[in-house]
Amino acid sequence: MRDCRAEILQTVQSLCQEHLVLGTWGNVSTREDDFFWITPSGMPYDCLQAEDLIKVELTTGKAYGPWKPSTEWRLHAAIYAGRPDCAAVVHTHSIYATAFAVANQPIPPVVEDLVQIVGGGVAVAAYALPGSEALAQRTLEALGEKNAVLLANHGLVGIGKSLNEALTVCRIVEKAAQVTLHAKTLGPIREISQDEIEIMREFYLTAYGPGLKREERQ
CA distance 22 to 45: 9
Catalytic residue flag (residue 72) = yes
H or E element, residue 140 = helix 133-143
- E strand intervals along the chain: 27-32, 35-38, 54-57, 63-64, 88-92, 124-125, 148-151, 155-160
Residue tagged active-site, from 7, 51, 72, 196: 72
Question: How many C-beta neighbours within 10 Å does residue 23 have?
Answer: 10
For strands 54-57 and 63-64, give the pairing: antiparallel
Contact between 136 and 77 under an 8 Å Cβ cutoff? The reply is: yes
The catalytic residue positions are: 72
